Structure 1
Amino acid sequence: MGRLLSFRPDPPYWGERLDAVLAAHGCYASRSAAARAVEEGRVTVSGKTVAKKHAVQATDFIVYEADEEAAPLRVCGEPIPLDIRFEDDEVIVLSKQAGLICHPAADHPDGTLVNALVYHCGADHLCNVQGEDDRLGIVHRLDGDTSGLMLAAKTNEAGEALMQAIREKAVERRYLALVHGVIGPDTGMVDAPIDRSLRDRTRRCVREAPSARESITTFRVLERFDAEPGDDGYTLIDCKLFTGRTHQIRVHMEYTRHPLVGDPMYTSGAPKAPRASLGLARQFLHSFTLGFEHPETGEYLEFFDELPEDLQTALDGLAPRSMGKTPFWDETFAPGLAQKTASDSDVAAEGGRA
């Protein structure tokens, strides 16, 4: 028998199905797992067993039997290619390929970025600042199908310093995103709290709730593209994160009714025609700028990354429909950017500092 735990539902959960609330509250790994626990009599509400569709009330006192914790994952090194742009004794800057999950979990125990880092550095030469052996080196994450620049740390001191810099919004993180629809203003800010969805624990959503966390994204329009039959036109934007919530840009742009092109999860407001996804098998989102103060030397380092082939091909296909570039295009892609990107890679290959 597992541990018995309990809670009283917060107001946002009132009126929701019991199995959905249990999953959203993190009591079980999924809604189906929560439903099974209710059906097996492992959950009581105010001392009584109820149906999984029971509508949770403000006065309910929910007691549930927690699943047995799985044995800790032992992470082994795997020879997964890493596109390293900079490396020294404290820090690694790399460009993560789409499809590479950052760290192991129950549904993907291996083949992750952490496995690649362990193979490259050795487990003893990676930070462990998150207190979990399956997250060695990790100080922040990118979604599995988001590509581009990210940081990893080799020492706990470097990892803690970088995580603190991220919390203090001292790390410059900018993303290129192609969204559905033509955005009118050249700039915008989305300041909307993000929380887990009550209906699907894998999704996030904008909502006001005690458990929701402050989330701020700003964007600048770089180029707009005319609409054609089957789509609403497109807008290429440069997004900047001021917080780092799971799926933040994807959730915020869906919230504005301009979801990311190719996104399989956050689709509200996206055209139904398959061709509107421009042939992409993942969201058009790429971490193209990363800037931070080196935790040991204090030197400010900045890196730039070009679009990968799949995203560049989709963007090139829209060229005949361009409505023109905004002034922010030249500011974002300043002369010499491509040269600087290439030189960053050269320095990294030589093992020096950019």
Structure 2
Amino acid sequence: MRKESSVLTPTTPKPSPPQAPAVRLVEVTEEHDGQRLDNFLMRLCKGVPKSHIYKAVRGGEVRVNKGRVSPDARIHAGDIVRVPPIRLPAVDQKRVVPGAEFPIVFEDEGLLVIDKPAGTAVHGGSGVSFGVIEALRAARPEARFLELAHRLDRDTSGLLLIAKKRNVLLSLHEMFRESKGSKHYLALVEGDWVNARQHIRLPLTKWTTQTGERRVKVEAEGQVSHTIVSAQKRFNGYSLVDAELRTGRTHQIRVHLASTGFPIVGDDKYGRDETRAKFVKLGFNRMFLHAHRLDIPHPLTQEALSLIAPLPKACEALLQKLEQQ
């Protein structure tokens, strides 16, 4: 009886498991001198959720010159930043960010000012994959430097400043800290605003809800905050006002107006649900807050700049409806 010969089947070698990303020590270059730590890490760890970066910093995993720091700490050229493996994406895993341009109000070699649409975040994080700044970088791959000079809430439209050079960014930050120039917003609020011009000085404090949402409230121990509100036009139970920021706190205009009894129409955090539902039925499904005018010295030449973004069509159409009521 013939024995069948045994056949050896070659086995496919098992791929070696991917190596876990190691801790990195990154030296800060001149290009990033003076930048906030959280912004530095977001560029260094592209694709990592902002919440993970904040957790790593607050947990002491991220260190600057071997010391613990806060996410908003400024880093300087020569600093050594310890970057832990904060769930970095795989080397061959590319996060596709569609490039996009936005209506340009002003642009030169150092400064870009756009008219941001409502509903668009200024940067990725908090459940948003990408925002204005990531889309602009994708649309302008040749740009060596593009950084937000300030923030606008996702549902706020209007003027947004982007620095194209590090010295422009630092100059704008200093200007905002010293309250130079003026930033004006247009808001539609509930109620009849009767004062021609009113100063609101209410200290503000950030807090977090049980569901993890970031909010702001008026509190005696809070940060000094100053808004100047001027009447523009009154409708039947609503008012269009100009709000000038003299300080730049998170949600400042929204909280100041709501705390004085004049919440902004469509504000899902500090406004009334009934009002928001009423205006959705009218076809208006955003917050009526628009960064309308900006008067600043140019950060390089000191030439006076007066920048204007007209009200979006949806806001103009709503005002026309209110006039007809």
What TM-score, normalized by structure 1, do the two folds share?
Answer: 0.62
> Contact between 1:76 and 1:118, CA under 8 Å: does it hold in 2?
no
Task: Name the structure with the higher helix share.
Answer: 1
Q: Write the distance in 2 (CA, Å) between the matches of 1:158 and 1:168.
A: 15
Partner of 1:275: 278
Letter in 1 for 2:315: L
Q: Write the distance in 1 (CA, Å) between the matches of 2:96 and 2:166.
A: 20
Aligned pair count? Answer: 240
Which sections of structure 2, spanning at least 5 residues, go unmatched? 1-50, 56-84
Which sections of structure 1, spanning at least 5 residues, go unmatched? 1-28, 34-67, 127-135, 227-232, 322-354
Partner of 1:221: 231
> Contact between 1:98 and 1:145, CA under 8 Å: does it hold in 2?
yes
Partner of 1:207: 219
Partner of 1:137: 147
Q: Write the distance in 2 (CA, Å) between the matches of 1:276 and 1:78.
A: 32
Q: Write the distance in 2 (CA, Å) between the matches of 1:273 and 1:287.
A: 20
Higher mean C-alpha displacement, 112-121 vs 165-174? 112-121
SS at match of 1:125: coil
Q: Which has the higher contact order (CA 8 A, sep 6+)?
A: 1
Higher mean C-alpha displacement, 287-296 vs 234-243? 287-296
> Contact between 1:117 and 1:137, CA under 8 Å: does it hold in 2?
no
After superposition, the C-alpha distances for 1:144-165 in whole angstroms (9 at most, x for unaligned) are: 1100112110111000001111
User: Offset at 1:75?
Assistant: 7.9
Q: Write the distance in 1 (CA, Å) between the matches of 2:89 and 2:235.
A: 49
Partner of 2:175: 165
Which of 111, 115, 120 is equivalent to 1:91? Answer: 111
Q: 1:120 to 1:89 in 2, by over 3 A?
A: farther
User: Offset at 1:124?
Assistant: 5.0
Letter in 2 for 1:265: K
**2:286 matched to 1:303?**
no
Letter in 2 for 1:147: S
Q: 1:70 to 1:292 in 2, by over 3 A?
A: farther
Partner of 1:119: 138
Q: Write the distance in 1 (CA, Å) between the matches of 2:104 and 2:95.
A: 21
SS at match of 2:167: helix
SS at match of 1:217: strand
Q: Write the distance in 2 (CA, Å) between the matches of 1:93 and 1:255.
A: 31
User: Offset at 1:243?
Assistant: 1.1
